[in-house]
Amino acid sequence: MKRIYEPMAYGDLPIQNSYWQTFKPANAVQYPTLSDNIACDFVIVGAGYTGLSAAIRLAEQGADVVVLEANEPGWGASGRNGGLVSVGGSKLSDKQIAAKFGNQDARTYFQTERAAVDFVEALIEQHNIQVDRHSKGYTFAAHSKSTIKDVKSYGEQYKARYGLDHQFLDQNAMRERGMDSPEFHAAVNLPIGFALNPIKFALGLADVAGALGVRIFANSAVEKVSVQNGFELQTQNGRVRAKKLLMATNGYSSEDVPSAFASRYMPVQSNILVTRPLTDIELQNQGWWSEQMVVDARNLLHYFRLLPDKRMMFGLRGSVIASDASMAKTKRNARVDFDRMFPDWHNVQTDHFWSGLICMSRDLVPFSGPISGIDNAYAAMAYHGNGVSMAPYCGALMADMALGKQLMPHAELMKKPMRKFELGPLRRNLLPPAFAWYKLLDGK
């Protein structure tokens, strides 16, 4: 597979210290490696939320489904994210979406975003997946006085999009709700969304798919996709013949599996720090005890929440190279930001730090549609760091397309062929200037 980051990004090193790894049950299901030539109707590449949700959707309709995963189910972003389930998925504002794709499709897109959160909630409830859920909606916080107007206008935008009210909190109101930090000057509470344990969700989906008869193969990286009378997918030790192909590889995609993807997706690293459990006194001293999940108003945003066991989870974007040195530097930067936001906890150890790849598209909107130029092939990807809701939903949309159905809101803009990024295989070089510009806009 030809990929655009250093090999480290595609190995286990970035998650060797992930807090979520500690939640993998000792008796977790061991999925076999493909070691034979088999056939099926639908083959799915990638066992994250997108692929597993697509598999469940297909299997619920009685389809014959195989999932091929290069590592283990949930190994990618799905087992290492912040667990914030919220509306979103695009990097464009409402106005930009409407200007670019038209008012009507923009409205359908906002319905899609809203439906995605409800879809995840329904999946969890229907299959009784234990995900340590908390947080009532989410909080969008102003990290400077000058961004108070931005969070207010985000609240308004939210109302126009989803017809739901938001609640403005000034600094005092934040304090009263256990969200005291010198960094935050105001916030809006937005009623849709909740937080979950991401690896429990991913492994839960894999269990559901398995119970529905989906054949999942782990450690079975697809090295080649041939298109002739259907599809033939080659792994190191086996082959799958299938009538329809569904690609669910998101930030871990490659330039050549299939080659139609080349230059059309942009993986970006996201990173998370988790502290040791905080004591009640430490929570009181800092004035932060809310279990609400929070995102700040920066372009290079921070996302954080107090976990059910009182560890603080703190996420940020912004590193471009996948190496030990770069990871260590990002961890130091994360700690500086963390200490500024939570000065009372500056001596608290941060036991865990890890990173993973999210994915962006050139048009800055999610994709769930046919793969251009290949009949009976579909892909879903590019949720711009908002995939805990969008990925399962887009996986289900992709499954519906493969079955020739449309049962849920699905904006046309999400089906448009993904455009190529400038600089082709070197497109990662677009990130440093973009990050530098965002940093300048963000102030600190």
Ligand X SMILES: Cc1cc2nc3c(=O)[nH]c(=O)nc-3n(C[C@H](O)[C@H](O)[C@H](O)COP(=O)(O)OP(=O)(O)OC[C@H]3O[C@@H](n4cnc5c(N)ncnc54)[C@H](O)[C@@H]3O)c2cc1C
DSSP state of 136: S
> Smallest gap, in angstroms, from Cβ of residue 269 to ligand X?
7
In terms of CB distance, is 148 or 382 closer to ligand X?
382
Closest to ligand X by CB, 1 vs 262, is 1
Helix 387-402, helix 49-60: angle, nearest 10: 40
Q: Cis peptide before 7, with omega less than 30 degrees from 0? A: no
> 45 forms bridges with which residues in the sheet?
68, 247
How far does CA 14 lie from the centroid of its chain?
Answer: 16
Among 384, 412, 408, smallest CA distance to 395 is for 408
What is the rounded distance in angstroms from the CA atom of residue 186 to the CA atom of residue 77?
30
Q: Up-side HSE of residue 156: CA atoms within 13 Å toward CB?
A: 7
Please give the Cα distance from 293 to 313 (Å, whole number): 10
416: its two tokens: 């448009």
- Of the two residues 148 and 360, which places its CB atom closer to ligand X in the complex? 360
Q: What is the DSSP letter of 288?
A: B
**CB of residue 49 vs ligand X: minimum separation in angstroms?**
4
Which residue's CB is nearer to ligand X, number 185 or number 366?
A: 366
Residue closer to ligand X by CB (options 99, 328) is 328
301/286 Cα distance (integer angstroms): 22
Q: Smallest distance from the beta carbon of 386 to ligand X, in angstroms?
A: 4
Task: Give the nearest residue (CB) to ligand X.
Answer: 387
Minimum Å gap between C-beta 52 and ligand X is 7
Residue numbers of the site for ligand X (CB under 6 A)? 1, 45-51, 68-71, 75-78, 80-84, 221-222, 248-252, 254, 257, 270-272, 303, 315, 355-358, 381, 383, 385-389, 391
> How many other CB atoms are found less than 10 A from the CB of residue 438?
15
Instruction: DSSP letter for 63, please.
Output: -
Extended strands (E) in 201-292: 215-217, 224-227, 231-234, 239-247, 266-274
81 token code pair: 């994210």
- In degrees and rounded to multiples of 5, residue 442 shows phi and psi of -75, -15
Phi then psi dihedrals of residue 216, to 5 deg: -105, 130
**To the nearest whole angstrom, how small is the minimum distance from the Cβ of residue 370 to ligand X?**
17
Closer Cβ to ligand X, 186 or 273, answer by number = 273
Q: Which is nearer to ligand X, 155 or 258 (CB)?
A: 258
Amino acid in position 312: M
Of 111 and 284, nearer to ligand X (C-beta) is 111
The nearest distance, CB 381 to ligand X, in angstroms, is 6
Q: Which of 254/361 has CB closer to ligand X?
A: 254
> Is the Cβ of residue 114 or residue 185 nearer to ligand X in the bound state?
114
Using only C-alpha atoms, the chain has a radius of gyration, in whole angstroms, of 21
Query: How far is Cα of residue 363 from the mean position of the Cα atoms in its chain?
Result: 17
The maximal CA–CA distance of the chain, rounded, in angstroms, is: 66
Q: In angstroms, give the least distance from the CB of 172 to ligand X.
A: 28
Q: How far is the CB of 250 from ligand X (least distance, A)?
A: 3
Rounded to a whole number of angstroms, the minimum distance from the CB of residue 365 to ligand X is 14
Q: Please give the full DSSP string across 79-109, using - where no structure is assigned.
A: GTS--EE-S---SS-HHHHHHHH-HHHHHHH
Q: Which is nearer to ligand X, 147 or 269 (CB)?
A: 269
CA angle 16, 293, 120 (to 5 degrees): 80
- As measured in angstroms, the least distance from the Cβ of 284 to ligand X is 27
Distances (CA, A) of 327 to 110, 319, 320: 35, 8, 10
Provide the minimum distance between the beta carbon of 268 and ligand X in the complex, in angstroms, as a whole number: 9
